[in-house]
Amino acid sequence: MSALPKEAPRLRPMDIDAIAAIVPIEKAAYEFPWSRGNFVDSLAAGYLMYSLLGNDGETLAYFVAMTGVDEMHLLNITVAPMHQRQGHARRMLDALVALARERFARQLWLEVRASNHRATDIYLRYGFRHIGVRRGYYPAPHGQREDARVMSLDLAGAPRALD
């Protein structure tokens, strides 16, 4: 008996129905998650919103990005906790970079919590540079605020997705 080859996860633009699958992931992944309303508003604003789906249609990851003049701003990228460390963040970044290039963006920007060393390491390995700090950008426990690291990727020098 031979095993069938496993299909690679597939990227799909999000619609309103996809939001139902990502809200529980968002809540499981973050102490201060985006609300359903944040995702609905992003969809209504025309932001780039994509889900990464497994063979069974399960949502593995997603991102939300905003297009600007000559740039793209990554607002949210999340891999479901049970699917982390499987290369999905890289797949999502590759897809986002390809979409940004299609829109002639020259820079990709993002903010990441100063305490999120794992995500920061992923971005640095991908080629992002630390540009600055936004003081008190994120909510933190007990009414406190946490700084964000501002990072940027020069899309002319960014890695190309592997086929």
pTM (two decimals): 0.88
Rounded Cα–Cα distance for residues 15 and 79 (Å): 18
What is the pLDDT at residue 1?
Answer: 47
In 36-116, which ranges are continuous DSSP H helix? 36-44, 88-102
126 noted as active-site residue: no
Cβ–Cβ under 8 Å, residues 56 and 19: no
Rounded Cα–Cα distance for residues 162 and 26 (Å): 28
Active-site entry in 47, 50, 62, 123: 123
What is the pLDDT at residue 163?
Answer: 42
Written as tens digits, the pLDDT of the chain (163 aa) is 445 456 778 899 999 999 999 999 999 999 999 999 999 999 999 999 999 998 888 999 999 999 988 999 999 999 999 888 888 999 999 999 999 999 989 999 999 999 999 999 999 999 999 999 999 999 888 889 999 999 999 998 655 554 4
Active-site entry in 47, 50, 111, 138: 111
123 noted as active-site residue: yes
Rounded Cα–Cα distance for residues 50 and 48 (Å): 7
Tell me the CATH number for domain 10-154. Answer: 3.40.630.30
